[in-house]
Chain A
Amino acid sequence: MSITKRFWISLIFSLPMLANMILMPFGWMLPGGNWTQLILTTVIMIISARPFWQSAWASFTKHHSNMDTLVAIGTVTAYVYSIYAMATSQAVFFESAAFVTTFVLLGQVFEEKMRNNASNAVEKLVDLQAKDAEVMRDGKLVNIPLSEVIVGDIVRVKPGQKVAVDGVITEGTSTIDESMVTGESMPVSKKSGDKVIGSTINSNGTFMFRAEKVGDDTMLSQIVELVKKAQNSHAPIQNLTDKVSDIFVPTVLIIAIFTFIFWYVFLGASVASSLIFAVAVVVIACPCALGLATPTALMVGTGRSAKMGILIKNGEVLEAVNDVKTVVFDKTGTITVGKPEVTDVVGDKRTVLSVATGLEQSSEHPLASAIVKRAENEAISIPKVSQFKAIEGKGVSALINDKKSFVGNDKLLEDVQIDAKLKQQVIDLQEEAKTVVFVGVENKVIGLIAIQDAPKETSKEAIEDLKARGLKTVMLTGDNQRVAEAIASQVGIDSVIADVLPSDKADHVKALQQDGKVAFVGDGINDAPALTVADVGIAMGSGTDIAIESGGIVLVKNDLRDVDRALALSKKTFNRIKLNLFWAFVYNILGIPVAAGIFYGIGLTLSPELAGLAMAFSSLSVVTSSMLLNKAKITSKAKFA
């Protein structure tokens, strides 16, 4: 029988006793007196309360105890004593057993509903998927179910339709609403060659795309998987409740026995009133509120942040965020757009570009692709290159027309010559926040290429928000000091650590950890170690898979302002956990002594019925408080009062 049915039966059979209790002072009595009460309560005990005993007994045989143990002992004690009292013509309290059962079940009915609401949020994400797709098969477009789409399929998407899976547009243009995956509310325009994400909604154009990821590999599936893990993860703060819950119920039973002994043996109270105090103690204690405090808040908090495009991977990260003192940023692709462009070429333009392109064409470095792109635009022929060699952290060299040529950064200057005029130009360019690449032949610099990677529009605001929160901001980059400082002053970063070799990023993060917890924000493969070392690793969603894997928080939208939102949300969630735990503990710590009758002297006592009501609502209030996290305001600008 469902909890809801048990509750209704219990309620209906309790009502006559409630009427009896309320109307007694006015001279109305329940017809049949104690016998009617006995029958009503017996029905409740057999139908509604029996599962409590069954569960209590089953766990007892396994040396365990749970909330049902308390409810079962409380109600059975009241019931059995009342039968004894009836037989010996003393005052009975059948209604206690009946009301406690009703209230506890009422609490459970609500709680079940709320818990299901809290956990369903993610499952709804999966429902966002398209059901079928129009796929090119044997030269014809056919409608097939989503599960039959395979990698490499060409899929057509008409206006208003959902994109079936992840892929790349092969023809056509459109604007796509990606809000369900990235949280970004503005539709994004896409053209041939752009990536599309499964489950997003196509708005106006028709386009074809090639499926690249299907089934469990799609971005949405990955996000759902990640959020599920996060929602069910363990926060370190729970270790405390784990310990408490192991000893909670037996301890309460012991306290209840002491309560009875005290009242009956030492204070000389009657068996009935001593028993009522003991029953109240058993009934009011609520281990569930303690157990629910953390998981429910974690579930709602991580679910909500996922909707905003912020994936918090687990409770540990959430807890670590609270003590973060410093936020360290990678420069390229994090603070800046990550698409550098060549702005100036110093020296003989065609020769400089030609040598540089020859050396850089096979490199995947973003600066290299900027140079290659520029050369393509200028229609520069690429020379033949041999004996290609990388100079770690400095650049590359090779033979072009039998002459040793090189391209690299200013660390190369230790080995080669440069004239004074060029040197001044380098400084000028660097102060404009442009990265300077040196191009040389036979140990002499023949020209410079200035490349600029502009900061993202939102970077400045993002940094301001973090500073308003009282956090220290640091930029970590392999770039030259002057360039780094120029960018830093554009976006308002406090301090700069420049000229960092990729392999040293993690060490710098470690050094910064000496002054408190550090969050690291990055996107590249070379950021992965730093993301792992940092107390909180925040990976940009546009970043490489390995970076996303290493980060504890992933920003799907790729907007730096989400760093602040992520911190705000994590803090809110963690504070809610603490609040929940606080109330759950306070409730038990205050409730038990009151129920035991310690404040009897000042007229403060709790009947078992009221204790049952309080118990039912303590776990309900914890779940409600967690659900309210969905409504809590997330201010992106922290202000100091």
Chain B
Amino acid sequence: MTKLLVLIVGLAIIGFIVWWFFGKHEVAEVSAEVSNNNQSIDVEVNGGYSPETVVLKKGVPATLNFTRKDKSSCLDRVVFSDFGINKALPINEEEKIEIDTSKAGEYQWACGMDMFHGKLIIK
């Protein structure tokens, strides 16, 4: 009887894992507001990036302010491979990253180990 219960609970947890991690979930998306010919977005780094997708306007100088709140060494660097940016993120410090917005497109950023990803859209 206990075994049957364990089996059911186990399968239920598996079902939950599949739904939680593989199911479709909304991703936080934030568009930058332009003021004084400048745009900036704050990105919090804590078990991933929030917002995970940022939208910037083409041609306006942009800064992304990353603040890492997560102690995991997984997230201690942020890499924009298309821009040649690889920056260390000291914990609880705001790190400004200048983004060249001259070319429209979709770019990825990732943590140093390529486990967490964020998306940068310039349009």
Which residues of chain A from 254 to 282 have a CB within 8 Å of any chain B CB?
254, 257-258, 260-261, 264-265
Q: Which residues of A contact B85 (CB under 8 A)?
A: 228, 232
Contact B79 A232 (CB under 8 A): yes
Out of B13, B17, B73, B80, name the residue touching A108 (CB < 8 Å): B73
Which residues of chain A from 90 to 133 have a CB within 8 Å of any chain B CB?
108, 111-112, 115, 119
Answer whether residue B104 sits at the interface, using C-beta atoms and an 8 A cutoff.
Answer: no
Place the interface of chain A in its size category: 35 or more
Tell me, rounded to whole Å, the shortest Cβ–Cβ distance linking A607 to chain B. Answer: 22
Contact B3 A62 (CB under 8 A): no
Cα A253 to Cα B22 in complex, Å, equals 13
Contact B17 A291 (CB under 8 A): no
Out of A111, A257, A294, A295, name the residue touching B14 (CB < 8 Å): A257
Place the interface of chain B in its size category: 35 or more
Answer whether residue A287 sits at the interface, using C-beta atoms and an 8 A cutoff.
Answer: yes
- For A43-77 the 0/1 string (1 means CB < 8 A from B) is 00000000110111111111111111000000000
Q: Which residues of A contact B113 (CB under 8 A)?
A: 288, 291-292, 295
Contact B71 A55 (CB under 8 A): yes
Contact B47 A58 (CB under 8 A): yes
Given contacts A64-B116, A238-B114, contact A111 B84 (CB under 8 A): no
Tell me, rounded to whole Å, the shortest Cβ–Cβ distance linking B78 to chain A. Answer: 10
Answer whether residue A322 sits at the interface, using C-beta atoms and an 8 A cutoff.
Answer: no
Q: Which residue of B lies closest to A291 (CB)?
A: B113
Q: Which residues of A contact B76 (CB under 8 A)?
A: 112
Given contacts A254-B17, A288-B113, contact A58 B46 (CB under 8 A): yes
Out of A58, A62, A67, A229, name the residue touching B84 (CB < 8 Å): A229
Q: Which residues of B contact A247 (CB under 8 A)?
A: 21-22
Q: Tell me the interface secondary structure of chain A in the complex.
A: helix
Answer whether residue B61 sits at the interface, using C-beta atoms and an 8 A cutoff.
Answer: no
Given contacts A228-B86, A287-B115, contact A3 B73 (CB under 8 A): yes
Tell me, rounded to whole Å, the shortest Cβ–Cβ distance linking B91 to chain A. Answer: 9
Cα A254 to Cα B116 in complex, Å, equals 20
Contact B3 A265 (CB under 8 A): yes
Out of A115, A233, A241, A254, name the residue touching B112 (CB < 8 Å): A115
Cα A249 to Cα B48 in complex, Å, equals 14
Q: Which residues of A contact B4 (CB under 8 A)?
A: 265
Which residues of chain B from 44 to 89 have a CB within 8 Å of any chain A CB?
46-48, 50, 52, 69-77, 79-81, 83-86
Cα A264 to Cα B52 in complex, Å, equals 40
Contact B47 A56 (CB under 8 A): yes
Contact B72 A52 (CB under 8 A): yes
From A253, A258, A291, residue with most partner B Cβ within 10 Å: A291
Cα A254 to Cα B13 in complex, Å, equals 8
Cα A225 to Cα B86 in complex, Å, equals 12
Cα A230 to Cα B82 in complex, Å, equals 9
Q: List 14 A-B contacts (CB under 8 A).
A: A55-B70, A58-B48, A62-B48, A64-B21, A66-B116, A115-B112, A228-B86, A247-B21, A254-B18, A257-B17, A260-B6, A265-B7, A292-B113, A295-B112
Report, nearest first, the 10 A-B pairs whose CB atoms are least far apart. A58-B47, A59-B47, A229-B84, A51-B71, A291-B113, A55-B72, A250-B21, A62-B48, A228-B84, A58-B46
Give chain B's interface residues, CB within 8 Å of chain A.
3-4, 6-7, 10-11, 13-14, 17-18, 20-23, 25, 46-48, 50, 52, 69-77, 79-81, 83-86, 112-117
Not counting A119-B86, A242-B117, A257-B10, a sample of 6 additional A-B residue pairs whose C-beta atoms are within 8 angstroms of each other reads: A55-B75, A59-B48, A108-B73, A232-B80, A245-B115, A288-B115
